[in-house]
Amino acid sequence: MLGLGKSGAETNALLRGLGLSRSDVSHAGLRVLERLAADRDALAQKLEAAESLADRDVLTATLNRRGFMREMHRTMSEVERYKSSAAVLFIDLDGFKAVNDGFGHAAGDAVLKQIARLLMDCVRESDVVGRLGGDEFGIILNRAGAEEARVKAASLGARLSAASIAHAGITHRVAASVGVHPIAMVEDPEIAIARADEAMYAEKYARRAQTFPAF
């Protein structure tokens, strides 16, 4: 008698879908159905893996923009449903273009990979890191209030700006500008990211003004 493990349960489901029972099908027919059920499970796993890869940035292993936006929608739903707090950070690397142009794309890639690794190491497991494009990264701080997000942004900015990244015997350093936007209920994810982007630019120009004050 055939066992009723996972494949057996899947076979029963297939039979029910066809309006049949095990007694209606020969032993050989049951074997075929079990193989079909197993193949269907394997295909579903492959599709799930492919979808996961489609949401990942190949270079940095963080989420790509598509995956990050999916997580933004999920976070928005949680904020609305549970009245919880969250924030999005927008990070831009200052000085990255000089590395990329002066030392080549391999050096630029090394910087991006190291920065991504540092970001992932500096956030909680419940938070989300994504590469939004070029040298721009985003972070979703789940269940984080506005002040907590600002403190985290300042800490990350300092960590990134102090990081030394070695490639081909040369040490590279880039600064980072970090914008913060507390996520509000009934807010479009693209607008939330745009607000964080605007905050990043404000922070960038404020820092430049301190470094190069007007006379």
> Which residues are part of the catalytic machinery?
135
CA distances from 40 to 14, 22, 37, 43 (A): 11, 19, 5, 5
**Burial class of residue 132 (count of CB atoms within 10 Å of its CB; 0-12, 13-18, 19+):** buried
Segment holding 42, helix H or strand E: helix 27-54
Among all chains, which residue has been given the structure tokens 């509000």? 184
Extended strands (E) in the chain: 86-94, 128-133, 136-142, 165-167, 170-172, 175-182
